[in-house]
Amino acid sequence: MPRLVSAARYSLRKRVLVTGGAGFIGSHLCERLLADGCDVLCADNFFTGTKDNIAHLIGRPHFELLRHDVTFPLYVEVDEIYNLACPASPVHYQFDPVQTTKTSVHGAINMLGLAKRVKAKILQASTSEVYGDPQVHPQAEGYWGHVNPIGPRSCYDEGKRCAETLFFDYHRQHGLRIKVARIFNTYGPRMHPNDGRVVSNFIVQALKGAPLTIYGDGSQTRAFCYVDDLVDALIRLMASKDGFTGPVNLGNPGEFTILDLARKVIALTRSGSRLVRRKLPADDPRQRRPDIALARRVLRWTPKTGLDAGLKKTIAYFRGGLAGGA
Ligand SMILES: NC(=O)c1ccc[n+]([C@@H]2O[C@H](COP(=O)([O-])OP(=O)(O)OC[C@H]3O[C@@H](n4cnc5c(N)ncnc54)[C@H](O)[C@@H]3O)[C@@H](O)[C@H]2O)c1
């Protein structure tokens, strides 16, 4: 009898699949879902994610790790799917651009197919890059974007755009319950130290006392969202009413120039680093800031972590890693 009781209790837990769960955002999402009482299946091919990111979760009774590439079909029983699998930084997604497009497009088809078979709700981690180099500012969800289809960033931008198309076609054609999040620059502990993203780049350079690399004149702007805020938004989006599909912008609207960020990082790390200038790469957007009115209204969400507070936590993480020889 006691076994029946515990089986019944077990079945009440929501079973959640997180693809790309061993990555930066995915590992924080797995943590949060476990804390919320879910049964979490993390699927990852470890292209950019690592077991270290989720080492503290392995062995927990409601956490399961599966080495799986989303470009292949997956057969599991789940109630919800967060589809995060995709390299996110230009260095990584340009390493094998054909595989990047496959991960976005075939990955979306496979995960949507799974959602259809098991009637799961599915959330896509899309990106602000679907707006390309935007001609309107800030970008609201109604803006269709200004994207180069044949440039070095296109494998990521167009792959994510096609994934959004697939999500909406599965919704219209098969009645799938979908959620599309357009994520803007997110930072925090467990970012890759060498993937060329500006926050991790600056912190690692400052901690090593190396010059901070500024591409262009540093007047281009970016908005930075702390990872805990983003994870909170993803959870709220998944829990939103079935009628709400998105796409919805998720990010922190506080806008900073790259020079502002460099100076903040130098001050917070108390580094003696100086700044060096390099040529701006192709298709680098001049301005990036989310319009999050929709997320505020529908999800009742607003980011809570200011840039200084988030940078301090991220710096502490990288300081630990560098001290450990990472
Ligand atoms: N971090 C950001 O600022 C940001 C901004 C916009 C969108 N996003 C999106 O959020 C998601 C997570 O980004 P992140 O910053 O955590 O990046 P990340 O590189 O740390 O995580 C991506 C994860 O996906 C895994 N992966 C890659 N290809 C795979 C495949 N074919 N099969 C299975 N797993 C695969 C990687 O190993 C990694 O663990 C991505 O889809 C990314 O496009 C992130």
The predicted pLDDT at position 286 comes to 76
In this structure, is the dihedral angle defined by the CA atoms of residues 317, 312, 253 and 216, taken in order, positive or negative?
A: negative
How does pLDDT run across 74-109, given as a tens digit for each residue? 999 999 999 999 999 999 999 999 999 999 999 999
Peptide bond into 189 cis (omega under 30): no
User: Is 21 within 8 Å of 44 (Cβ atoms)?
Assistant: yes
Pair 160, 102: CB distance under 8 Å: no
Active site residues: 156
Cα 135 to averaged position of ligand 1 atoms, centre (Å): 26
Percent of the chain with pLDDT over 70: 94
Amino acid making up residue 274: R
pLDDT in tens, 169-211: 999 999 999 999 999 999 999 999 888 889 999 999 999 999 9
Residue 195: the pLDDT is 83
Position 321 scores a pLDDT of 79
**Of ligand 1's atoms, which has the minimum distance to the CA of residue 156?**
43
Atom of ligand 1 nearest to the CA of 49: 39
Nearest to 309 by CA among 247, 264, 243: 264
Element (DSSP H or E) covering residue 92: helix 90-93
Token pair, residue 49, equals 């994610």
Helix (H) or strand (E) holding 221: strand 221-223
Burial (CB < 10 A; 0-12, 13-18, 19+), residue 168, is: middle
Distance of CA 247 from the midpoint of ligand 1 (Å): 18
List of E strands, 240-308 = 248-250, 255-257, 275-278
Query: What pLDDT digit, counting tens, does each position of 28-39 carry?
Result: 999 999 999 999
pLDDT at 281: 77
* CA of 6 relative to ligand 1 center, distance in Å: 35
pLDDT score for 284: 72
